[in-house]
Amino acid sequence: MASQSDHKATVIDGKFIAQTIRSEIAEEVRQLSEKYGKVPGLAVVIVGNRKDSQSYVGMKRKACAEVGIRSFDMNLPEQISEADLVSKVHELNENPDVHGILVQLPLPKHINEEKVLSEISLAKDVDGFHPLNIGKLAMKDREPLFQPCTPKGCLELLHRSGISIKGKRAVVVGRSNIVGLPVSLLLLKADATVTVVHSRSNDQESIIREADIIIAAAGQPMMIKGSWIKPGAAVIDVGTNAVDDPSRKSGYRLVGDVDFEEACKIAGCITPVPGGVGPMTVAMLLKNTLDGAKRVIVQ
């Protein structure tokens, strides 16, 4: 029997799985185009010029082009009023060539995020954050029109890696509206026994150590140590944290919420950062856009 120090977790290749999904989407888009003469359309609304938002949007545009989805970009000035932004969203709601609308967050301080997101047509809410979609996600025997992209990507990584969820103990670290909360609801729908650990939780380590499946989404660099992980557990690391690294040209490197090197010695499988969950989030956005288009085009 190999000693623990010889153990090496299987690294879940999110890039490869996402590329497989993109190929499947490209094929479906091609069939829609051939049969109905229409393709899915995704509108991305960006307010102001935050560098990180701009690069995300560029990545999404490129991903759309690769699978044949039309991009509609709306770059709006930082100082736009909430009312004007809402009317732009309404324009996109009315546009029959747009099947998905994504408002890049965060929005400037003077705009009420909740108000803007609730104005997106339910049938075009490809981010899955409309209160009605989240509400249906939270209820038994109800299905939202769209599931949020990052949580959906986490479960897809588990499914495509052959990891069963039913009856397993899953611990979600973090309770954000974007990842922690919806991924805990998705795991519950998949029949896991779910615990959410957050900044106010006592004895986080002992709770995490009982997990068969860990979804780390706390935004705390390398918070989860190898010793916190149950041998053989599946670890999905959503964290993307920049830490100083003078040896890098950029002066920093990206790390997850899990200490990857330590975790590899104990976990059964683990996603790397970068290259794990990130590519899946974009793939799920494309999938949601395709699904939204199919509801309209395929009558």
Catalytic residue among 60, 152, 168, 230: 60
Q: Is 127 a catalytic residue?
A: yes
Range of the domain at 225: 148-278
- Residue 57 falls inside a structural domain: yes
pLDDT tens digits along 2-35: 455 689 999 999 999 999 999 999 999 999 999 9
Domain CATH code at residue 182:
3.40.50.720
Catalytic residue among 88, 124, 125, 127: 127
Quick one: pLDDT at residue 1?
45
Q: How many helices (H) and strands (E) does the chain have?
A: 10, 11
Q: Are residues 269 and 188 in the same domain?
A: yes
What percent of the chain is predicted at pLDDT more than 70?
Answer: 98
Q: Are residues 116 and 152 in the same domain?
A: no
Quick one: pLDDT at residue 4?
53
Q: Kindly give, in sequence order, each residue whose CB lies less than 8 Å from that of residue 176, ignoring residues fewer than 6 positions away.
A: 217, 219
pLDDT tens digits along 206-216: 999 999 999 99
Q: Is 60 a catalytic residue?
A: yes
Q: Are residues 209 and 259 in the same domain?
A: yes
Whether the predicted pLDDT of 242 surpasses 50: yes
Q: Are residues 152 and 272 in the same domain?
A: yes
Average pLDDT along the chain: 95
Quick one: pLDDT at residue 81?
97
Per-residue pLDDT averaged across 221-229, rounded?
97
Q: Are residues 67 and 183 in the same domain?
A: no
Quick one: pLDDT at residue 299?
75
Q: What angle do CA 275, 281, 283 make, to 5 degrees?
A: 95
Q: What's the rounded Cα separation, in Å, for the pair 33 and 24?
A: 15
- Residue 1 falls inside a structural domain: no
Catalytic residue among 104, 152, 189, 287: 104
Q: SS3 of 215, please?
A: strand
Domain CATH code at residue 108:
3.40.50.10860
Going by their DSSP bridges, the two strands 213-216 and 234-237 should be labelled as: parallel
Q: Give residue 120's Cα distance to chain centre.
A: 19
Tell me which of 164 and 57 has the higher pLDDT.
Answer: 164
Per-residue pLDDT averaged across 107-135, rounded?
95
